[in-house]
Amino acid sequence: MLSSVRNRLAPSVVAVLAAVLLCCRATTAVSYTPADQQPTRFMHIDLNGAAAGGADAYADNAVPYRGVCLGGWFVLEPWIVPSLFNPHINGTFNNHSVWDEYSLVNYIGMKDATPMMLEHWDTWITEADIAEVAQAGITDVRLPVGYWMLNPLPNETWVPGETYFFDRFLGWARKYNIRVLLDLHGAPGSQNGQDHSGHRGPLDWDTDLTVQTLKMFILYIRDHGFTDVIHAIELVNEPWWSVDPKIVQDFYVNAYSAIRQSSPSFTNTLNIVFHDNFNMNAWGGIMEPPAYTNLFQDSHQYHCFDNSLLAMDYAGHLNYTCNNTRPAIVTANKYHPTFMGEWSLATTDCPQWANGFLNGNRWEGTLSPGDPVFGKCTGNFGTDVTQFTPDYRAFLRQFTEMQMDAYEAASGWYFWTLKTESAPQWDFLMGLREGWIPNPVTKREYHC
């Protein structure tokens, strides 16, 4: 269990939540029922101390977005929070390793998983974190969530209680004038078979249940008075490139229509975001105005999961950013407002479990037999920032600012991710504190 005491909820409250969930036999999360379908109106506790559903201070579409993702919080990822997974390195569930949130919860059992997850949700992201990034000029947050928060499938076991912390965060976002992009990171059946979908393994994506889940989130946001905070909703994160593009496109069309119809007073002007299915410039002429409005495209660019990029020197990464990625995103932006929804400063895949729990890495040639070796995961590519050389720190600053500049030539960016346990090049807060991310984020020396 995490032992952090960072700005945490009072321990007694966590204990009470855990006791209530366990003693009342809340053995898994349950589906959300909209307020207008409940026998009596539920009580909404305003965790922020301000009137819920206030003036729509976030409705403008001012771009570029300057945002950060809150990875590893409501959807666990072993490489972001390895301390939750490493104690179970020899564990198995359904004949495979304990390698995602679902298998972790089911392997250790609800008695132990419930207090563990409650503490994680309470302490991983704090109000102080949100205040710090807001002070640094961050205007937007991309918040990954899983379907199981509101729409768990029958016969699945998940720890309930996320919505308390979800609501609390939205109160912080309102307080610090942060716009929130709600990102469905894990869809029923898994849209990509990766651990960051909640289920690593076979891809068995149920698009109909995904549309149902999106509608549940819309109604939850409406019923709980957070329509002023949720600026956009992302239909699904990273549907895998092996999925038939026609299936993805049909899902987007159906999901767009369902959201627009689900609560028109809220959703008629809500920004809707689609991921580009790893093909940034394939969406021209598809889902365009006037039939589709307030529709944004999300692209992701990393420099650490492809051998051709791993082979580059520092200058090569900067050149690729300005002369390859920048023109591509500017072109995509002509058809749909396009932002870089995930990017980092990593030029290696060295962080433990970056390629999945128990998997090796490309940098040292340990991911697959016969892989080339690019270097060692030490020094500049290790976890100890005190070992970073001045030249490498200077590169990180350049790489940060030139990526920001490239993506702001379109509709902006969201850095992945706010914090990690041991991956400095992926850690926005660490970058701010160490000086390779500018503070404020608009105070820059380098550009394309």
Output the average pLDDT for the chain.
89
- 217-244 pLDDT, tens digit per residue, is 999 999 999 999 999 999 999 998 788 8
Active site residues: 238, 342
Domain boundaries, the chain: 39-84+111-434
Least trusted range by pLDDT, from 22-36, 107-121, 209-223: 22-36
Neighbours of 79 (CB within 10 A): 24
- 399-408 pLDDT, tens digit per residue, is 999 999 999 9
Q: Assign 337 a pLDDT band (cuts: 50, 70, 90).
A: very high
Q: Where are the alpha helices (DSSP H) in 226-292?
A: 245-262, 264-267
Q: Locate tokens 């032992």: which residue?
A: 3
Instruction: Report domain 39-84+111-434's class.
Output: alpha beta
Total-model pTM = 0.90
Neighbours of 415 (CB within 10 A): 29
Nearest CA to 203 out of 187, 218, 215 is that of: 187
The overall longest dimension of the chain from CA atoms, in Å, is 64
Distances in Å between the Cα of 353 and the Cα atoms of 9, 82, 105, 285, 362 are 29, 8, 18, 39, 12
